[in-house]
């Protein structure tokens, strides 16, 4: 399976979890995907542990028709980004067009802000379980979950299985499952 020709928007805000951003981005690129970092504004975005990545486009500049999927790492970034209606709308547009949405850790918070978790089975950082359930999600404790067009994962330890599931779904080899 190869990701050549696939384009992934990576949504980052201040305080992203470094490993949850860097490892999947590296994996996607190493398998041929084009990754574009999208943020509140162009320029440096700082991770929790010192990583600095460059946002190439803003929410308003990025056109979802250019992308096959959106990837949202965790950390403090999702809680930060959900304050911006344009970020929430950008995420919602991926659901409306049935494009893949890939989340790790706290990223479910941004999906909840976009009203995308009702009746969705997903996973994430255990600390967001109550928030997800209050928003109508079926929150489960599994390394990776794929439901409809959303693939979700919990923690940095789950990144390898998360990466493989995203690759599998973007390559069109599977639909929904849990691991």
Q: What is the pLDDT of residues 156-167, one digit of tens each?
A: 999 999 999 999
Alpha carbon distance 79, 77 (integer Å): 6
Asked if 13 contacts 80 with a C-beta cutoff of 8 angstroms, the reply is: yes
pTM confidence score: 0.94
CA distance to 11, 23, 62, 64, 120, per residue, from 7 (Å): 13, 17, 12, 10, 25
Residue 123 forms part of a structural domain: yes
Alpha carbon distance 118, 62 (integer Å): 26
Residue 1 forms part of a structural domain: no
Q: Which domain holds residue 129?
A: 7-178
CB contact burial 119-150 (16+ within 10 A = b; e otherwise): ebbbbbbeebbebbeebebebbeebbbbbbbb
Could you give the residue ranges of the DSSP H alpha helices within the chain? 18-30, 77-81, 85-96, 108-113, 129-134, 159-170
Residues with catalytic function: 105-106
Q: What is the CATH number of the domain that holds 128?
A: 3.40.50.880
Q: How many domains does the chain have?
A: 1
SS3 of 115, please? coil
pLDDT tens digits, 99-145: 999 999 999 999 999 999 999 999 999 999 999 999 999 999 999 99
SS3 of 22, please? helix
pLDDT tens digits, 64-102: 999 999 999 999 999 999 999 999 999 999 999 999 999
Residue 166 forms part of a structural domain: yes
Asked if 79 contacts 85 with a C-beta cutoff of 8 angstroms, the reply is: no
Alpha carbon distance 110, 145 (integer Å): 17
Residue 2 forms part of a structural domain: no
Residue 160 forms part of a structural domain: yes
Quote the pLDDT of residue 178.
46
Query: Of 108, 157, 98, 114, whose CA–CA distance to 137 is shortest?
Result: 108
Residue 41 forms part of a structural domain: yes
Residue 70 forms part of a structural domain: yes
């Amino acid at each position: 399976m190869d990701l050549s020709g696939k384009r992934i928007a990576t949504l980052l805000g201040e305080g992203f979890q470094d490993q949850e951003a860097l490892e999947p981005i590296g994996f996607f690129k190493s398998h041929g995907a084009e990754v574009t970092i999208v943020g509140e504004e162009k320029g440096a975005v700082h991770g929790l542990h010192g990583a600095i990545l460059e946002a190439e486009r803003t929410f308003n500049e990025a056109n979802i028709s250019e992308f096959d999927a959106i990837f949202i790492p965790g950390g403090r970034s999702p809680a930060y980004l959900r304050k911006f209606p344009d970020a929430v709308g950008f995420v919602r547009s991926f659901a409306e067009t049935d494009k893949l949405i890939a989340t790790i850790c706290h990223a479910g918070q941004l999906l909840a802000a976009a009203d995308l978790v009702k009746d969705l089975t997903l996973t994430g950082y255990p600390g967001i379980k109550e928030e997800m359930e209050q928003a109508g999600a079926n929150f489960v404790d599994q390394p990776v979950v794929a439901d409809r067009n959303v693939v979700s994962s919990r923690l940095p330890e789950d990144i390898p299985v998360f990466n493989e599931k995203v690759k599998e779904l973007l390559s069109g080899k599977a639909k929904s499952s849990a691991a």
